[in-house]
């Protein structure tokens, strides 16, 4: 220390170059780990409360979805409507979650003409550009039928190779058993649309 006209100047010993390198390394590492942990927590929260991931098994949703596709499923279900693709967890004889399309909601009347392959909701033929072929496979449900309130009538897009609400094996789907609506295709990469 030296004194210069009422000012005291203190000299700190200079850091050695090795100490500077080590302290910078730990600072960068700490910042990188901090960012990584925050990102992991954010992804966990998004997929735990907003989106889930579901796999498509089987060909009942061809040509829209293929066996092995992975979907981002919106887990907050406030407004499920006709045409939505949903993941169903309702217990069934197949003992597996199902991926199907909502055809009718509570209060709707469903009628299927299996000879002509057309589906009517409340007396009107519905436009179905997404199906593999006309609906000709019949199961054990007699039509016309009215969907109970709080339930959905679902079918696969591959109508003649899908066990769905046309069968008592699946039947009507209660609102509480809809895990979510399919929002995007995560795999295979390239086509994210789910319609």
Q: Where exactly are the structural domains of the chain? A: 51-187
Q: What share of the chain is helix, strand, coil (3-state, %, to 5)?
A: 20, 30, 50
Task: Please say if 60 is a catalytic residue.
Answer: yes
Considering the domain delimited by 51-187, tell me its CATH architecture. Ribbon (2.10)
Which residue out of 21, 23, 35, 60 is catalytically annotated?
Answer: 60
Cis omega before residue 54 (within 30°)? no
Q: Which of 74, 100, 162, 165 is catalytic?
A: 100
Strand, helix or coil at 58? coil
Which range of 11-20, 71-80, 108-117, 184-193 scores highest in mean pLDDT? It is 108-117
Give the model confidence (pLDDT) of 62-121 as tens digits.
999 999 999 989 887 668 999 999 999 998 887 888 999 999 999 999 999 999 999 999
> Is there a catalytic annotation at residue 35?
no
Work out the number of other CB atoms within 10 angstroms of the CB of residue 132.
Answer: 17
Give the pTM.
0.76
Least confident of 3-12, 20-29, 100-109, 132-141: 3-12
pLDDT exceeds cutoff 80 at 4: no
Q: From CA 188, how far away is CA 192, in angstroms rounded?
A: 8
d(CA 97, CA 90): 7
Tokens linked to 12: 């700190």
Residue 63 Rama label (left phi>0; alpha psi -120 to 50; beta): alpha
- Checking if the pLDDT of 170 tops 60, the result is yes
Classify the C-alpha dihedral 93-95-100-106 as positive or negative.
positive
What integer pLDDT is reported at residue 5 of this predicted model? 58
């Amino acid at each position: 220390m030296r004194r210069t006209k009422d000012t005291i100047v203190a000299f700190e010993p200079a850091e050695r170059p090795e100490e500077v390198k080590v302290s910078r390394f730990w600072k960068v590492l700490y910042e990188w780990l901090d960012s990584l942990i925050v990102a992991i927590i954010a992804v966990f929260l998004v997929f735990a409360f907003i989106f889930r991931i579901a796999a498509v098994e089987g060909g009942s949703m061809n040509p829209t979805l293929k066996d092995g596709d992975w979907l981002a499923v919106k887990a907050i279900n406030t407004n499920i409507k006709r045409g939505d693709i949903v993941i169903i967890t309702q217990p069934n004889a197949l003992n597996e979650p199902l991926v199907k399309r909502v055809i009718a909601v509570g209060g709707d009347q469903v009628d299927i003409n299996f000879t002509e392959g057309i589906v009517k909701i409340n007396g009107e033929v519905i436009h179905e550009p997404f199906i593999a072929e006309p609906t000709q496979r019949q199961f054990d449900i007699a039509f016309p039928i009215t969907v109970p309130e709080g339930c959905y009538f679902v079918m696969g897009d591959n109508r003649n190779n899908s066990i769905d609400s046309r069968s008592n094996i699946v039947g009507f789907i209660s609102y509480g058993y809809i895990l979510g609506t399919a929002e995007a295709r995560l795999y295979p990469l390239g086509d994210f649309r789910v319609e």
